[in-house]
Structures are given as C-alpha cells and as structure tokens.
Amino acid sequence: MDNKKIPVLAAPLQGVTDNVWRMAQHDVFGGVDAYYAPFMRVERGEVRRKDLRDVDPERNTGITLIPQILACQPDHAMMMVDALKQMGYRRIDINLGCPFPPIALHRKGSGMMAYPELAEALFKALATIDDVQYSVKMRLGWDSNDQWRDILPLMDIIKPVNITIHPRTGKQQYKGELDIEQFEAILATLPWPVIYNGSLRTVQDIENIIQRYPTLAAVMVGSGLAANPGMLAPSATPDDYRRFHDLLVDGYTEQLNGGEAQLVRHLQDIWQTFLPGTSHKLFKAIRKSRTLDQYEAAATAALNDAATAALNDVATALTPCAEDEE
Ligand SMILES: Cc1cc2nc3c(=O)[nH]c(=O)nc-3n(C[C@H](O)[C@H](O)[C@H](O)COP(=O)(O)O)c2cc1C
C-alpha cells in the first residue's frame, strides 16, 4: 500500500480467519500487521481445545497474533487468560462485539454492552491478572447506539492498549448504516487509542478513513480481506490466489480428520466469503461437488474466473478517488 501510515489489522472472523487462513494470507499476500484470532470460549467448564489449538504459536509462526476471549462470567475469562499466558501470550483482546443472538442474549459479546455492571465485574477480575495487556473490540451498544457511554468509563479498570470500534449496534448484526456520528463522538471522548473497523473493502477505503481520522491508531479489515485476501497486495497475480487456495486445501486436509466429505464441506464453506465475484454458475458447481476431485475441478474453474476479477478490484482501489467517482 502506497501511503500506509498506520497498522492494518486482520479482523477475527469465526469460521474463516483461523490459523490455516492466517498463515496462507501471510505467506502468499501479506500486508497485515497483526491478526486477531476469532474469539475463544469456555464450554462445559474448560477452554475449548479447538480454540487453544488455533492459537498454538507453532501454528502461527512469523505473524503477530492477538488472541481474543469472549465471556460473561469473570472466572471463565480468567481461565482463558491463564491458558493464553501459559502459551506465552501477553496481549489479549476482549470481545464486546459479537452480535450472534445465542451469544449476545446470554449477555456476552455485544450483549454485555447493555449490562455495564457485568462489564465492570469482568474488567475487575481481568485486572487482577499480572503481566497482561488488554484491548477491547466493541460495538456502539447492543440495542441502542449510545450504550458505549456507560461502558467506556469502565475501561479505566483494565487500561486497554487500544479499543476497536465497529460502529453499529449488536442488534444491527452486519447490516444497516455505519453510525459515523457516534463513532466520531467516541473518537472525541476516548482517552485510549482507537482502531476503526467496518466496511473497508479496498486500499482506497483504508486511505480515505485514515485521511478523515488522522488520530486513528490502526484500521481493521474483516470481510473485505476474506473476500479478497490479496486486497493489500497490489502486485498479486492470479497464481497467488491459486497458491492461497491450495494452502487452505493442504492445511484443512491436515487439520480436519472427518474424512473426505467433511473436508469438501469445509472447502465449500470458504466460498461463502472468498472471491464473491465468482459467477453463480461456478459457485453452484462448487456447492454441488461431493468428492475432492469434483471440488478441485470446480474450484479451478472458479479461481481462473474470479481471481482476475479480484485483481481488477485491487487495481481499481489504487486509482485516485476523483476518477472512481466519474
Ligand atoms: C462470519 C463472521 C465471524 C466473525 N467473528 C468474529 C469474532 O470471532 N470476533 C470478533 O470480534 N468479531 C467477529 N466478527 C466481526 C468482524 O471481526 C468485524 O468486526 C465485522 O465483520 C465488521 O468488519 P468488516 O466490515 O471489515 O467485515 C465476525 C464477523 C463475521 C461476518
């Protein structure tokens, strides 16, 4: 990226940006300064093993990884921080943003933003743990766009290194307008470094937001990077998308042990977010494949078709704003 002035962070996307995806994105395209891991959680009294495996430093070599925890109960949060400390992590993100109803309605993620007393208890417990720095990733609120006003003063308990804001409420899920007015109110109020997250799909979008808010500490990119993992690599070639895809196939072949059917289903799921420029016909062929051979044939056709389109997007992103508007 030409005018990069601040770090670009890869957002956590549960089910997408796992260790296989992160390593493939880093090895093939790069451009990301740090990756946030999808949230980990406690289930049946213990930290999910799958979540711990995902952040195992041996599976995340050569990248800066920030693990994220999601909890309502302070003891669950402490259990996860302890486990992460044992793995060597000293920087941990706290999820106050997840809008998924089964989670939010249990007062976790963005759901917690409607209950400042729960956030206070959580932060107080986490603040008792030595040698860890926290950050927070949050929405504007759960069901109202000003609930952040009750949560932000509590941040003083954990003194976060930064706060990522996705300026929507939890109830909005991922739809509806970004509430830039509230984002600006937060930016004017917060004594902590702020990271902007939301609908950054091109390098030009990133440059625009940095220009508009020069005090931002970083920007975070989620679905844009999942759609086009080469978004930050203007010199990428169609072969790079093939290589990226093949690294995913290799990684999931190694990590999933539910046989060919499970592998094919997982690979099909990648295309829910990857290269959305894929034509409907080719996308359908991927969805219909039942064997790895069928999948490979369909994916090859789709890659040939859509990687070029993704590259055109990158090229468009690098043209000046004024030309874009014509
Ligand atoms: C499928 C999916 C999974 C997500 N998983 C997480 C997660 O584990 N932790 C988190 O903080 N946010 C999660 N998010 C929210 C994203 O990190 C990000 O905040 C949101 O997508 C807005 O950014 P974007 O417009 O760049 O995608 C998820 C979003 C999606 C669509």
Token readout for 138 is 């949050």
Q: How far apart are the CA of 48 and the centre of ligand 1, in A? A: 20
pLDDT at residue 311, as a whole number = 74
pLDDT at residue 120, as a whole number = 98
* Residue 28 forms part of a structural domain: yes
Strand locations in the chain (E): 8-10, 34-36, 42-43, 46-47, 65-66, 68-69, 91-96, 133-138, 163-165, 194-197, 218-221
- Based on the fold, state whether residues 21 and 169 are members of the same structural domain: yes
Q: What angle do CA 11, 111, 162 make, to 5 degrees?
A: 40
The reply to whether ligand 1 has any atom less than 6 angstroms from the CB of 166 is yes
Number of structural domains in the chain: 2
pLDDT at residue 5, as a whole number = 77
Task: Name the residue range of residue 83's domain.
Answer: 8-227
Q: How far apart are the CA of 314 and the centre of ligand 1, in A? A: 22
* Residue 2 forms part of a structural domain: no
Provide the CATH number for the domain around residue 83: 3.20.20.70
pLDDT at residue 234, as a whole number = 87
Strand locations in 67-217 (E): 68-69, 91-96, 133-138, 163-165, 194-197
Which residue has the CA at smallest separation from atom 8 of ligand 1? 38
pLDDT at residue 313, as a whole number = 65
Burial 112-130 (b: 16+ CB within 10 A, else e): bbbbbebbebbbebbeeee
Which residue has the CA at smallest separation from atom 10 of ligand 1? 12
* Residue 304 forms part of a structural domain: yes
Token readout for 204 is 């030009």
* Residue 20 forms part of a structural domain: yes
pLDDT at residue 305, as a whole number = 87
pLDDT at residue 306, as a whole number = 81
- Average pLDDT by stretches of 10, the chain with 326 residues: 75 97 98 98 96 98 98 98 98 97 96 98 98 98 98 98 98 94 96 96 95 97 96 93 97 93 96 92 96 97 84 52 25
- Based on the fold, state whether residues 139 and 207 are members of the same structural domain: yes
pLDDT at residue 312, as a whole number = 67
